Amino acid sequence: MPFNNFLFPRKILLALFGGVFLPGCLASNLFPDEQSQTETQAVLRNEVIVSAPTGYCLSSAAPRTDGTVLFGSCAALRQTSFVGSLPHGAVVVVSVGVKIEHDLNDVFSEHLQGFFATETGHTALSQSDDANAMTIHANTIEDDVLFLRIEDQSDNFETALDRTYWRGVLPINGHLVSISVFSSTVTPISRAEGREILEAFVHEMETENVEMS
């Protein structure tokens, strides 16, 4: 199954945080040039538009791969009082996998949920490629979106981030898209807030790409 190539964007997170996360440094790390902030990014030869809900901005500082982009809360990073409808402390990584030729609806209904219940699936999700480090607290499919609540106890997990986080996987334009909502340890978010942010990103991605389907 073509899941491993986009499930854990290690290079993005390691390069951004480097294992060090200091209050007050996040804004300069994510957004050195405030004028470059945006909410959308075309990836993989414009086959998928990565889009964020209001209140989240695309990082121009994080290293780019062909299909992976990183977002942070604009309000928190600008250190203003404007919050909008979303909380402050989330870092969101959207990764778009290579195009899959067969019907992705079949992948979802027959394979994907079960895959992540296996040892191989746990290994694919783990930052250290160690299935024993993984605990899956939720694994459900709703409206063709797989929602995973993941706990990763890998020794090399970024210390800046809460080890338990939400991930959504959904088909868009023939690609599997992974959306990971990480909570910082400095400004943590609740389980419910993380799920709300994930659902908002899913909605924006589906809406932005509906005309391309």
Tens-place pLDDT, residues 148-166: 999 999 888 888 788 999 9
Cα separation, 199 vs 162, in Å, equals: 19
pLDDT(102) > 60: yes
What is the domain partition of the chain in residue ranges?
Answer: 10-212
Question: Is the Cα dihedral 61, 65, 71, 72 positive or negative?
Answer: negative
pLDDT(22) > 50: no
DSSP state of 110: I
Report helix, strand or coil for 112.
helix
Q: For the domain with range 10-212, which CATH number is right: 2.60.120.10, 3.40.50.410, 3.40.1000.10, 2.40.50.140?
A: 3.40.1000.10
What pTM, to 2 d.p., does this model score?
Answer: 0.81
Condensed to tens digits (0 to 9), the pLDDT of residues 111-138 reads 788 888 899 889 888 888 899 999 999 9
Number of H helices, E strands in the chain: 7, 9
Q: Which residues pair with 139 in a beta bridge?
A: 148
> What would the two tokens of residue 110 be?
């027959």
Q: Is 167 left (phi over 0), alpha (psi -120 to 50) or beta?
A: beta
